Amino acid sequence: MAETLDLVVTNKTVGSIETNIAALEALVTKRLEDYRPENYLGDADLAKKDRAELNKAKEKIKRARIDLINELMKPFNDFEARCKALEKMIDSASSALDEIVKTKENEEKEKKREYIEQLWKSYNFDLFPLNKIFNSKWLNKTFKEADIQAEIEAVIERTYKDLKTIERFAEDADNLKAHYLICLDIGDTLDYGEELKKKRELARKEAEERAEREHAEKIAEQEKELPDVNEFQNMQEMQSLADIALGGDGKPERKEFVISVKCFDEELLELKAAMNRLGIEFSVEELVF
């Protein structure tokens, strides 16, 4: 009866085999000279007969080799099978104990997780949840509570520092802060800020180009709506004649119009000057939206 589970070799003999393999090697080497293809020119039947003999000899040697190896390997195969059976028995017992160990470890990890959650709450830090930075290594038995506290405090300190850095980008600060609180990566956030700046410039440029394009289209439409000078004069003459026929004096009536214009300040000055030259009364009030 063994006292421990240590495998002890009590007797081991390195096997040796004595056979006539050397004589067979010499015989085959010598006989193969007789089976050279040029010795069978014009005699396929003899070649077929000798080929059958060679194949039979090969199979005989092959079978003898396999039988001998099986015989020699039988002690090893028996030993290996018994060792594997023992290992399986030990695995079965170890697996049963493993459940007990894992249950205990899970209880300890859950208790430690509760401690970490309470520690997190004590900082009153609500910019992102604990699971955003939770590190599973904190639950290891070898990871000290003081080290967990230090890592959490370092994250909080770095977050405030990074947010302060982001505030230098005044125009996009709110968007960049939101982005940072999602990725918690200041480098990625600053890259995002640069990309946002480029996109905003492109959008501004597109808006300016679109405004100029729409302005040009509007001017073109207005140009089409202007009546021909001769046509306008004929209309005026017809209205004058009609007025005289109705008992009027035929003189055109000064009317009051409300016109909304969209222009730059310098263009407004030129417009006022032109209306003055034409003797047009006007008043200007800037529309603010």
Tens digit of each residue's pLDDT (9 = 90 or more) over 132-141: 999 999 999 9
Helix (H, G, I), strand (E, B) or coil at 227: coil
> Model-level pTM?
0.51
Range of weakest confidence among 75-84, 87-96, 146-155, 279-288: 279-288
pLDDT exceeds cutoff 60 at 1? no
Q: What residue segments make up the domains of the chain, in order of their start?
A: 22-114, 138-249
155 close to 133: Cβ distance less than 8 angstroms: yes
Most confident of 4-13, 55-64, 126-135, 256-265: 126-135
pLDDT at 289: 64
| Mean of all residue pLDDT scores within the chain | 85
Q: What pLDDT score does 180 carry?
A: 94
Q: What is the pLDDT of residues 11-64, one digit of tens each?
A: 666 667 788 888 888 888 888 888 888 888 878 888 898 889 889 988 988 998
Q: How far apart are CA 19 and CA 65, in angstroms?
A: 11
H-assigned helices in 123-185: 145-166, 173-183
Residue-level pLDDT at 11: 67
- Residue 110: closest CA among 83, 141, 85, 87: 141
Q: According to the model, what pLDDT value does residue 151 have?
A: 96
- Whether pLDDT at 253 is above 80: no
Mean of pLDDT values over 193-203: 89
Highest-pLDDT range among 23-32, 179-188, 219-228? 179-188
Lowest mean pLDDT among 31-40, 172-181, 189-198: 31-40
- The shares of helix, strand and coil residues in the chain, as percent rounded to the nearest 5, are 75, 0, 25
Give percent of the chain with pLDDT exceeding 90: 38
Q: 242 pLDDT exceeds 90?
A: no
Say which residue, 251 or 58, is predicted with more confidence: 58
In the chain, the percentage of residues whose pLDDT exceeds 70 is 85
More confident residue, 227 or 92: 92
Q: Is the pLDDT of residue 88 over 80?
A: yes
pLDDT, position 139: 96
- Helix (H), strand (E), coil (C) string for the chain: CCCCCCCCCCCCCCCCCCCCHHHHHHHHHHHHHHHCHHHHCCCHHHHHHHHHHHHHHHHHHHHHHHHHHHHHHHHHHHHHHHHHHHHHHHHHHHHHHHHHHHHHHHHHHHHHHHHHHHHHHHCCCCCCCHHHCCCHHHHCCCCCHHHHHHHHHHHHHHHHHHHHHHCCCHHHHHHHHHHHHHHCCHHHHHHHHHHHHHHHHHHHHHHHHHHHHHHHHHHHHHHHHCCCHHHHHHHHHHHHHHHHHCCCCCCCCCCCCCCCCCCCHHHHHHHHHHHHHCCCCCCCCCCCC
Residue 145 scores a pLDDT above 70? yes
The answer to whether residue 149 scores a pLDDT higher than 60 is: yes
